[in-house]
Chain A
Amino acid sequence: MGEQKKTFVVTRFDPDRDDAPTTREYEIAVQPDWKTLDALNFIKDHVDGTLAYRWSCRMAVCGSCGMMVNGEPRLTCKDVLSQYGDTVHIAPLANFPVVRDLVIEFDGFMEKFERVKPWILRAKEKAVEEGTHRQSPEQLADFQHFSMCINCMLCYAACPVVSNEPAFLGPAAIALGHRYNLDSRDEGNGARNQVFRGDGTVFSCSYANECSEVCPKKVDPAAAVNQAKIGALLDWAKGLVLPRGGPE
């Protein structure tokens, strides 16, 4: 099988000139083994050097090249072009403001990440001479798959709640916070559960499960969010019945 012609309908937006995003069509010959990112790189190199998009590793690790391909959130470096017909629509990730062409604004995403305190919190740090915090393989297995997130933001582009509720922490941030709540070395459950119950609450999630469906790393953020609901609820109940309000 040789090369095949495909038409790419790509969203374009120049904040200095355009009032709103438009689309532009590029017809190019693609190789059978190309990914969607290969086609974008070809367009950028040979047809239109002004096209803006993010990419880096080309091996589904950096999480930079997430875009909407034919309406679905995809990592374009992993997205085989041959599965599509003669026309492929490429747009920036849904639910995010667009900086330019296919580049989204992700400062809001980073703020949500920071809110869940994604690091190990200890009531009292261990002295160095006391050695490391030990963890069994069984304890690691409790959270390991939640730690595989590459921050590609596809889950946010698929989430119907993110479209409607700007305060919602969202799948990846909650999955990361929950990952630390499950970590046997961590003592920050109380602080994170307060965030989970507060503004942007985990209870906004209506369990559409689409975040898990589109996750390229099988992190299953929907599981994390719904486990976090139970954790946040139990933590609140403990605060009601235990002296001094339960764990901090």
Chain B
Amino acid sequence: MSVPAHPQAMAPSRPGRTRTAPPQRPDQAPFGGRYRSHTLFGATGFVYLLLGLLALEAVWALGGGSASWSGFQASLASPFMIAIHAISFVSVIFVGVRFFRLFPKAQPPRLGPVRPPPAPVIIAALYAVWIGASVLFAAILAGGIL
């Protein structure tokens, strides 16, 4: 069952002599089939919005003194907060994998006199940086560094 697209989608600037039927969206858009991944990608924006608000709350708590900060830290143990962080973790992996898959071909064939390396090299480098940064942050958070 198709849904109408914008009535002016792909319409000429001046209407032709023949009456036309309005354009329809692709059947599966925006939640089905080939569009699901793209829509989910867009939906991760809400997750990042929540995380941003959470970061603001953390800064606010930090400015409110040690009692306020302790309260904020305690609130992170609630099931709701754990669920948000679990969803955020999955979202970050999903967005990262999608980004790494699509990134290489978005590179111009030339950047000045330099040509970008082949796509597999770019993808391998991205994953290497991702894994390296994750290990580094994990070590810092575990107290192994600093």
- Could you tell me how many residues of chain B have their Cβ less than 8 Å away from some Cβ of chain A? 35
A68 to B16, CA, bound (A): 23
Distance in Å from the Cβ of B33 to the closest Cβ of chain A?
A: 7
Distance in Å from the Cβ of A104 to the closest Cβ of chain B?
A: 8
B11 beta carbon closer than 8 Å to chain A: yes
- Which residues of B are interface residues toward A (Cβ below 8 A)? 2, 5-6, 8-13, 16, 18-30, 33-35, 38, 42, 102, 105-110
A182 beta carbon closer than 8 Å to chain B: yes
The answer to whether A95 and B5 touch across the interface, beta carbons within 8 angstroms, is yes
The answer to whether B106 and A227 touch across the interface, beta carbons within 8 angstroms, is yes
Chain A residues 213 to 248 lying within 8 A of chain B, measured CB to CB, are: 213, 220, 222-223, 226-227, 229-231
Q: How many A-B residue pairs have CB under 8 A?
A: 130
Interface residues on A, range: 35 or more
- Which residues of A are interface residues toward B (Cβ below 8 A)? 13, 15, 18, 20-21, 68, 71, 73, 91, 94-100, 104-109, 111, 141-143, 156-158, 160, 162-166, 170, 182, 206-210, 213, 220, 222-223, 226-227, 229-231
The answer to whether B26 and A230 touch across the interface, beta carbons within 8 angstroms, is no
Picked from A143, A158, A163, A230, the residue with its CB within 8 Å of the CB of B9 is A163
Known A157-B26, A166-B6, A206-B38; judge A230-B20 contact (CB<8 A): no
Task: Closest A residue to B27 by CB, please name it.
Answer: A71
